[in-house]
Amino acid sequence: MPVNIKAVSTSISSVLRALLKYTRFRIGLAIVVIMVAMSLASLASPPAYKRWYSYPRDRPPRFSLEAIDLLLGTTTNGRPVIYITINALANSLIIGVVTALIGSHIGLLVGLLSGVSKGYKESATVLLIDSFVSIPGLPLLIVLAMSLKDIITIHTLPLILSVIAWAWPARNVRSITLSIMSREIINLARFSGIRFTGIVLHEVLPYVLGWHLTNFINTIIWAIGMETALAIFGLSILSEDTLGTMIYWALNYNALFRGLWWWMLPPVVVIISIFVGLYLISSSIAMYLNPRLRGYAQ
Amino acid sequence: MHPFAKHLVNRTLVAVATLLIAFNISYLLLRAIPASAVDTMLASIAQLGQRLDPEDYMRMRQTLMELFGLTGSPMDQYIAYLKRFFSLDFGPSFMAFPTPARDIVARFLPWTVGLLLVTTVVSWIAGNMLGVFVSFVRNKRLSRILENTAIVLYPIPYYVLSLALIYIFAFLIPIFSLSPVSVPLIRIASISDVVNVVVYFIRAASLPAISIIIISAFGWWFLSSRTLSISTITEDYVVFAKLRGVDIGRLRGKYVLRSVMVPQVTALALALGTIFSGALVTEYIFAYPGLGSLLYQSIIIGDYPIALSILSLSIMGVIISMWILDTVVYYVLDPRIRYAR
């Protein structure tokens, strides 16, 4: 079946228009757009921001337009907080999005396969999913991060996070698939002579994809949070700036108790706003997909 | 064979297989850690100023390796560990040699279970009551405020909230102490000992407990029970009961709350199954003695007996709670599942 590009684009724009009616979607989208713009601005940061002591140390914020570098003050290492923040935001977003691209799609694939297959294939996939679900996630990540410490970069950390990220989504996709496969439409499609792959692609996948979209966004939140949790233990990429390592270094230099609030506050504010923004988007999508909740949206 | 017996056997076999696979994955991963407990021990001996010949050093290293069961082919070590896994005895701990790992874990277990059992149950009850309540009084100002608070609180990363709590309640208003808590040896001989232990526990556990309850009651439990009860209220049978003039209290209790409870009890059981791995971030941030921080310590040092015993405890917790759900709860409580088979 050829893909009708015009139909796809009109349906996407109608969904977007329906979503924009929700106040919470508009707020969430605005926050995320601001955050993405800030992370794009990180491309303009001067290379000197990475070097220690290239600026005076422990300077409080100064609100003047001539010196943007000192807008949010400097750290104890003499680095401008504003450039660290926007670079950290960009790196954390990359980690989140790449993990979601890898982990949630593995989950989708394994869950679908497990839901539509029968016999020993089904048992094997269920065993695999359940054993990954039952291993505690953060300790496993700590073990992985410790043993792979030498090769962790912004681009390999998402691979490690994906080892954990796929199991719960796979379990959920499996149960959604099972409930769809027991519906009458599947039998009807089978009796009408549609082949198995056709049934999976055209009857099952559309139902799962809506859930997959919200899960994709939730996986971004989860991955950014996990990176920060790893950083608290000093197991993230400490040589790069991410939101987690920024909090780690600020805590390490006791910024909280020495009164250097301008070092501690930016990563916390950025993390909370990106989480709230993404969560508002994902919950309004979930609301749009569940017609029973729609009337309660505004 | 009776269908229930067949179902039981089936589920038990699957649970045992899952247990074995999960244990194998965690064993393989743990063996990949670069940290070596033997070298840590030898380094601490060298720090004491003991002068050792290189030959003596190597001989000592060899003895320690044999003592800890780290010699032999990987297959032999694996089989030895598998035997220990089934007897639930993981041998002596490396970092507190020769105390058995089991005893050390047992010492930390009441702290974690005490904290997490209480917080999980309290936040489950509070969150569900609030969520169901809000869905009844929708479009009122109070429910709007509660809902918006939850939407902002839920996505806040846990450690950020707990750092804020520490900053406020231990630094600005010093109600709780910042110093780390050490595990007292709980020896109960008189009533004053009991009182001491209780006071100690409350002092150490209340701040972490508050942080967990705020996040999970206001976050996940509240939001999920609200969503569930809103979609139940718009269900046809509830609308019909309302039109039929069913008493409002009965409608809320028997018609809405009961059907909301099925998925929520499932989620509670799964949450209770995960408490044996401890709350790693909580324990680390609040310096609270529990299985999570013990696990972290043992992973950093390379103390496999302790790490493996905690990991298998928590894996068993999750799998047993899933097994109970699959067999007893679903089969007995939900008639639809019983007849579908």
Which 3 state secondary structure label does DSSP give B100? strand
A/B interface, count of CB pairs below 8 Å:
119
Q: Element (H or E) spanning B213, and its range?
A: helix B191-216
Find how far residue B221's CA is from the centre of its chain.
16
User: CB neighbours of B68 closer than 8 A, spacing ≥ 6?
Assistant: B37, B38, B91, B92, B94
Q: From the CA of B29, how many Å to the nearest CA of chain A?
A: 7
- CA distance to A18, A54, A73, A83, A227, per residue, from A46 (Å): 42, 11, 16, 8, 26
Phi, psi dihedral angles at B100 (to 5 degrees): -60, 145
pLDDT in tens, A158-210: 999 998 899 989 988 988 888 888 888 888 888 888 888 888 888 888 888 88
Of the two residues A279 and B176, the one the predictor is more confident about is A279
Look at B22 and A134 and tell me if their CB atoms are within 8 Å. Answer: yes
Long-range contacts of A189-192 (CB under 8 A, 24+ apart): none
A 58-97 residues with CB < 8 A to B: none
Residue A296: which of B25, B230, B322 has the nearest Cβ?
B230
Specify whether the CB–CB gap between B280 and B293 falls below 8 A: yes
Chain A partners of B26 at a C-beta cutoff of 8 Å?
Answer: 135, 140
Q: Residue A46, preceding bond cis, omega within 30 degrees?
A: no
Interface with chain B: mutation pick from A23, A134, A264, highest number of B CBs within 10 Å: A134
Q: Element (H or E) spanning A206, and its range?
A: helix A205-232
Half-sphere exposure of A230 (CA within 13 A, CB side): 29
Look at A134 and B299 and tell me if their CB atoms are within 8 Å. Answer: no
Chain B partners of A292 at a C-beta cutoff of 8 Å?
Answer: 230-231, 234-235
Specify whether the CB–CB gap between B119 and B213 falls below 8 A: yes
Q: Tell me what pLDDT residue A298 has.
A: 37
Look at A271 and B33 and tell me if their CB atoms are within 8 Å. Answer: no
Look at B155 and A276 and tell me if their CB atoms are within 8 Å. Answer: yes
Specify whether the CB–CB gap between B278 and B112 falls below 8 A: yes
Helical residues (DSSP H) of B68-157, grouped into ranges:
74-87, 101-136, 141-153
The rounded distance, in Å, linking the Cα atoms of A146 and A229 is: 14
Given its phi and psi angles, is residue A237 left (phi above 0), alpha (psi -120 to 50 degrees) or beta? Answer: beta
Look at A130 and B322 and tell me if their CB atoms are within 8 Å. Answer: yes
Look at A147 and B159 and tell me if their CB atoms are within 8 Å. Answer: no
User: CB neighbours of A51 closer than 8 A, spacing ≥ 6?
Assistant: A79
Task: Tell me the two tokens of residue A226.
Answer: 């996990």
Strands (E), chain A: none
Highest mean pLDDT pick, A88-102, A222-236, A251-265, B90-104? A88-102
CB proximity A30 to B under 8 Å: no
Given its phi and psi angles, is residue A259 left (phi above 0), alpha (psi -120 to 50 degrees) or beta? Answer: left
Chain A partners of B32 at a C-beta cutoff of 8 Å?
Answer: 143, 147
Does the interface ipTM go beyond 0.85? no
Of the two residues B52 and B302, the one the predictor is more confident about is B302
Q: Tell me what pLDDT residue B179 has.
A: 58
* Smallest CA–CA distance from B296 into chain A, residue: A139
The average pLDDT across B263-292 equals: 83
% of chain A at pLDDT higher than 70: 96
Interface with chain A: mutation pick from B143, B163, B284, highest number of A CBs within 10 Å: B163
Specify whether the CB–CB gap between A281 and A28 falls below 8 A: yes
The average pLDDT across B96-109 equals: 81
Q: From the CA of B67, how many Å to the nearest CA of chain A?
A: 24
Work out the mean pLDDT of chain A and round it to a whole number. 86
- CA distance to B64, B120, B199, per residue, from B279 (Å): 32, 11, 22
Q: Tell me what pLDDT residue A36 has.
A: 94
Interface with chain B: mutation pick from A122, A131, A224, A258, highest number of B CBs within 10 Å: A131
The average pLDDT across B330-337 equals: 62
Q: Tell me what pLDDT residue A107 has.
A: 94
Interhelix angle B258-273/B101-136, nearest 10 degrees:
160
Chain A partners of B230 at a C-beta cutoff of 8 Å?
Answer: 292-293, 296
Give the type of residue at A50. K
Our CA dihedral for B162, B163, B168, B170, rounded to 10 degrees, sits at 90
Highest mean pLDDT pick, A184-198, B180-194, B274-288? A184-198
* Smallest CA–CA distance from A292 into chain B, residue: B231
Q: From the CA of B196, how many Å to the nearest CA of chain A?
A: 31
Let me know how long chain A is: 298
Q: From the CA of A142, how many Å to the nearest CA of chain B?
A: 8
Measure the CA angle with vertex B190, ends B187 and B193; round to 5°. 55
* Count of beta carbons in the 10 Å neighbourhood of residue B10: 12
CB proximity A272 to B under 8 Å: yes
The rounded distance, in Å, linking the Cα atoms of A102 and A220 is: 11
Residue A135: which of B14, B25, B160 has the nearest Cβ?
B25
Look at B29 and A132 and tell me if their CB atoms are within 8 Å. Answer: no
Look at B281 and A283 and tell me if their CB atoms are within 8 Å. Answer: no
The rounded distance, in Å, linking the Cα atoms of B213 and B196 is: 25
Specify whether the CB–CB gap between B321 and B32 falls below 8 A: no
Look at A293 and B295 and tell me if their CB atoms are within 8 Å. Answer: no
pLDDT in tens, A59-117: 788 777 667 777 788 888 888 888 899 999 999 999 999 999 999 999 999 999 988 88
Task: Give burial (CB, 10 Å; 0-12/13-18/19+) of B306.
Answer: buried
The average pLDDT across B92-111 equals: 80
Query: Could you tell me the pTM of the whole model?
Result: 0.86
The rounded distance, in Å, linking the Cα atoms of A152 and A234 is: 13
User: CB neighbours of B269 closer than 8 A, spacing ≥ 6?
Assistant: B321, B324, B325, B329
* Smallest CA–CA distance from B323 into chain A, residue: A130
Q: Bridge-partner residues for A74, per DSSP?
A: A80
Specify whether the CB–CB gap between B280 and B340 falls below 8 A: no
Q: Bridge-partner residues for B100, per DSSP?
A: B92
Q: From the CA of B30, how many Å to the nearest CA of chain A?
A: 7
- Of B320, B322, B324, B309, which Cα lies nearest the Cα of B23? B309
Phi, psi dihedral angles at A80 (to 5 degrees): -70, 125
Residue-wise over A69-78: b if at least 16 C-beta within 10 A, else e? bbbbbbbbbe
DSSP state of A59: P
Give A222's pLDDT tier (boundaries 50, 70, 90).
very high
Of the two residues B188 and A210, the one the predictor is more confident about is A210
Chain B partners of A123 at a C-beta cutoff of 8 Å?
Answer: 14
Give the type of residue at B16. V
CB proximity A32 to B under 8 Å: no
Half-sphere exposure of A139 (CA within 13 A, CB side): 34
User: CB neighbours of B20 closer than 8 A, spacing ≥ 6?
Assistant: none
The rounded distance, in Å, linking the Cα atoms of A134 and B318 is: 6
Look at B159 and A144 and tell me if their CB atoms are within 8 Å. Answer: no
Task: Tell me the two tokens of residue A296.
Answer: 């309660």
